[in-house]
Amino acid sequence: MKLEAVELIRLDVPLKSAFRTSEGSVSVHEVVWVHAITDVGEGWAECAANALPDYSSEYHTAAAGVLREFFIPEAMKLGNDLTAEAIAPALHWAKGHRMAKAALETAVLDAQLRASGMSFAAYLGATKTKVPAGVSVGIMDTLPELMKTVEGYLADGYLRIKLKIEPGWDYEPVKLVRETFGEDLLLQVDANTAYTRDDFDLLKRLDEFNLLLIEQPIEEEDILGHARLAEYIQTPVCLDESIVSAGVARDAIEIGATSIINIKPARVGGYIEAVKIHDVAQAAGIPVWCGGMLETGIGRAANLALAALPNFTLPGDTSASARYFETDTTEPFVLVDGHIDVPTGPGIGVDPIREVVDRFTVSTEWVK
């Protein structure tokens, strides 16, 4: 297989409502797509980098830049030896930029699998045909607004609620949701690194709510700090931003910094590395779940395939298209009894709807 050209597409996809985390608020999903043209057919991927370097150091225009200047030429140098499995080794010399690397690998993998008629689910080792869906609830201006939103998602059938928290929006909203919706609700929180080692007492107060987990409470480099926190509080600590590779996952597990892992393929450089993390965690008895980066259907499809692996035992942020988008870029993913079907077609199993993509496209460039 050979990479002939890549189209980098910048899209602005409007969100139904603003999504606020401890890092900021977004109302438009600004994103780069990688459309790979190979001699065996085309492949698609959505790069998860945000518009701002707020979740990680990556951001969409930097991802497009590093793809254009370094990664796509490197993949082209592979000539007829191109495979999805060859991408990570070929780009290994380049530090970081995992979301950009992931997007290129995913687009090439999509082309490769479409050509051989195999689905992402089959390639990755999925054992389920549908996956339980959770939903991530942003920080709101008021508690009544939060309650109305959570109530709506529970009525939709979501099986687990994740509340975004930050200092000043933690104890009270969590208490109110727990008291209102009862002990049986699967409830977890996500701080996106908003706290510090000085906040352990504050975080300990959340122990009374019997949460599934607290996600990434302190900064991503501070893995030892998470291990100390995990000893101090009862709520299981789950790492997201900190886990950038299977090696880091292994170390974080070993020092007790994480008893559950959020796997986002984009954050770790792609689906092949994501499966390695799944396996490392499984061998250590650590459950995992699939995170999200507000992906449209093109990105969501592949995440659903990953979430169908056996050690994904907790509901993921694999919500339906309607959670975020009035109009998705593919046929919408729908929630049925709290679950979403894993695509079964070749590759990611869905196709972009050209007219919708054109409507949201800000610019395109060809790298040849």
Binding stretches for ligand NPG (CB under 6 A):
21, 50, 55, 136, 190, 192, 240, 291-295, 317, 319
Two structure tokens written together for 42: 């085309």
Residue with Cβ nearer ligand NPG (192 or 311): 192
Minimum distance from CB of 117 to ligand NPG (Å)? 29
If the CB atoms of residues 170 and 240 are measured against ligand NPG, the closer one turns out to be 240
Q: Which residues contact 18 (CB under 8 A, 6 or more apart)?
A: 25, 26, 27, 138
- Asked if 264 is an active-site residue, the reply is yes
- Please provide the distance, in angstroms rounded to a whole number, between the alpha carbons at the two ends of the chain: 16
Q: Which of 164, 204, 276, 368 is catalytic?
A: 164
CB of 80 to ligand NPG, least distance (A): 36
3-state secondary structure of 305: helix
Q: Which residue is nearest to ligand NPG (CB)?
A: 292
DSSP string, 114-140: HHHT-BHHHHHT---SEEEBEEEE---
CB of 73 to ligand NPG, least distance (A): 29
Number of helical (H) and strand (E) elements in the chain, helices listed first: 15, 13
C-alpha dist (Å) from residue 158 to 123, 261, 264, 320, 334: 27, 20, 20, 9, 11
Shortest approach of ligand NPG to residue 240 CB, angstroms?
6
Of 216 and 311, which has the nearer Cβ to ligand NPG? 216
Element (H, E) at 272: helix 271-283
CA distance 91 to 233: 40
Comparing CB distances to ligand NPG, the nearer of 299 and 352 is 299
Q: Catalytic positions, please? A: 164, 264
